[in-house]
Amino acid sequence: MRGAKWSNAMSHFRISGADSSLPRSYYLKATVDAARALLGHILVHESPEGTTGGIIVETEAYLSQDDPGCHASIGRTRRNDPMFGPPGYAYVYGIHRCACLNLVTAPEGVPEAVLIRALEPVTGIELMQQRRGLLRLKDLCSGPGKLTQALGVTLALNRADLTVQPLYVGAAAVTAGPVVATTRIGLRPEKGADLPLRYYFADNPYVSRR
């Protein structure tokens, strides 16, 4: 399980005709490919308290400086710096009381990342329930802040190397199904809210919202 990780997910990329509403330029972006390819793979965090993980069922792509929704659209800063680094590292940022986990995708110098928005709970469910303070599986990891809390992912894992650190992407699970592309969540209208860069399994009950 430990050997699969990032390169495994990247190698599963296939261009799908379902993206025909995207501008042509976005087809060329590896991050869009990664956002789709990561669906169905398992995300695992091995912490001293125990191992937790789930199947990635919802992602969002954030595309460099041309994307007004991307943190890097304002240029390189202390916060978004990890996005400029080489791919395969974590970009974790805080919003309100939550941590949001991104996987850096593009080559060094190109600030792109995939936000992990929801997991289908698989491993360490009891520990995740304990961390979240609730029992219902549907609510454990159905949001970017929820899943980091469930997995015990904090800002301490910012810049973590996903091929070395105890946080990693495993092999694809058997579950799959049709993928839906919609607009991203939580962006103000002028921040690229109209771009269909959110992907999720159409019939999966663990996505953050319909």
Partner DNA sequence: CACTCGATGTTCT
Partner DNA sequence: GAACATCGAGTGG
- The verdict on 159 binding DNA (CB under 7 A) reads no
Of 5, 36, 184, 198, which one interacts with DNA (CB under 7 A)? 184
Please state the closest distance from residue 62 (CB atom) to DNA, in A.
4
DSSP letter at 55? E
- Measured in degrees and rounded to the nearest 5, phi and psi for residue 151 equal -85, -10
Of 36, 41, 146, 198, which one interacts with DNA (CB under 7 A)? 146
Q: How far apart are CA 74 and CA 166, in angstroms?
A: 31
Task: Please enumerate, as own/partner, the contacts of 153-156 that have beta carbons within 8 Å and a separation of 24 or more.
Answer: 153/45, 153/92, 153/99, 153/101, 154/92, 154/99, 155/92, 155/93, 155/94, 155/99
* Structure tokens that stand for 75 in this block: 């240029």
Of 50, 85, 94, 196, which one interacts with DNA (CB under 7 A)? 94
* Structure tokens that stand for 179 in this block: 């993928």
- The verdict on 1 binding DNA (CB under 7 A) reads no
Which residues make Cβ contacts (< 8 Å) with residue 164, sequence separation at least 6? none
Of 51, 85, 137, 191, which one interacts with DNA (CB under 7 A)? 191
Q: How far apart are CA 154 and CA 99, in angstroms?
A: 6
Please state the closest distance from residue 142 (CB atom) to DNA, in A.
7
| Stretch near DNA under the rule CB under 7 A, chosen from 31-39, 63-71, 163-171, 196-204 | 63-71
- The verdict on 42 binding DNA (CB under 7 A) reads no
Of 98, 125, 171, 173, which one interacts with DNA (CB under 7 A)? 98
Residues that bind DNA (CB under 7 A): 60, 62, 69-72, 74, 77-80, 83, 91, 94-98, 100, 102, 113, 115, 132, 134, 139, 143-146, 155, 184-188, 191, 208
